[in-house]
Amino acid sequence: MSYEKELAAAKKAVSLAARLSQGVQKTLFQSEVWTKSDRTPVTAADFGSQALVSIVLERELQPATFSLVAEEETGELRKQGSEVFLEGITKLVKDTLASEESYADSPPLSTEDVLNAIDCGKSEGGCSGYHWVLDPIDGTRGFVRGEQYAVGLALLVEGKVVLGVMACPNLPLASAVGETDMSSKENVGCLFFATAGLGAYVQPVEGHSLPQKVRVSSNENLEEAKFLESYHKPIPIHSSIAEKLGITALPVRMDSQAKYAAVSRGDAEIYLRFTLCGHRETIWDHAPGFIITTGK
């Protein structure tokens, strides 16, 4: 099965979510960053992105049943005192949908519509049927700093990943790994996508340029190899591994699953990830971007 319709819907949903997030990042103030119960940050872009993806997938695919496993929930948004924040999210979603020509004549959304769209992400998934898995803003800390982040979406069918789409709005269209500020380039904004068995591709997140196939690096000279690691405190074992392999270049630190995208197109040869002691791993630490690393 080719999943062409599902892939087209996913690309449209993720592209619109990227459009919304780019607008938020440009005007984000620290006072607009909330802290969740697990002490991780969340912004209007996280909620708005999740609502948008939910709405677009349902409109485009009109499934008999719709299962979305996503990160955000509306508990805090429904509490008294959140009205202004919620109104802002609703406006973001409405304005972004209105910017898409095919949705120009759609009925206007209410705040409750947006809340319900976010709550569509409460599915528990499972090993049977169709399940979408979404990280609406992966790398929120990088997003808040104005750096790298990603919007990641995957489709699981009978427990297997069959397609993945990931937008990296601040990732340059041409490799810039190793440069100090990768978000300072003019030509930025990548949309990566892959269908199982058909390779991985990239195209600009905005515009109509033809997709280009991505391939992992063929560099076998470890002394020249570039390796990526997460934008956390340095992890000693990473330096130890690099030394044993003979890698002389300093690691490039980057937030989000944009690292997977960078490796998939040959920007770097290695991505090291060893969990810090006490760090709680979740599905969002690994999915859905890992399918993108299969581009050969």
Nearest to 150 by CA among 286, 272, 5, 3: 286
Nearest to 10 by CA among 202, 164, 116, 136: 164
Do the beta carbons of residue 167 and residue 11 sit within 8 Å? Answer: no
- Assess whether 46 carries a catalytic annotation: yes
Annotated catalytic residue: which of 43, 74, 90, 140? 140
List the beta bridge partners of residue 253: 229
In a 3-state reduction of DSSP, which class is residue 254?
A: strand
Residue 160: which residues within 8 A CB-CB, separation 6 or more? Answer: 196
- Assess whether 140 carries a catalytic annotation: yes
Supply the DSSP symbol for 29.
Answer: -
Annotated catalytic residue: which of 46, 119, 135, 138? 46
Supply the DSSP symbol for 221.
Answer: -
CA distance 233 to 64: 46
CA distance 77 to 83: 8
CA distance 14 to 61: 14
Can you read off the two tokens belonging to residue 257?
A: 């699953």
Residue 91: which residues within 8 A CB-CB, separation 6 or more? Answer: none
- How far apart, in Å, do the first and last CA atoms of the chain sit? 21
Q: Return the active site residues.
A: 46, 140
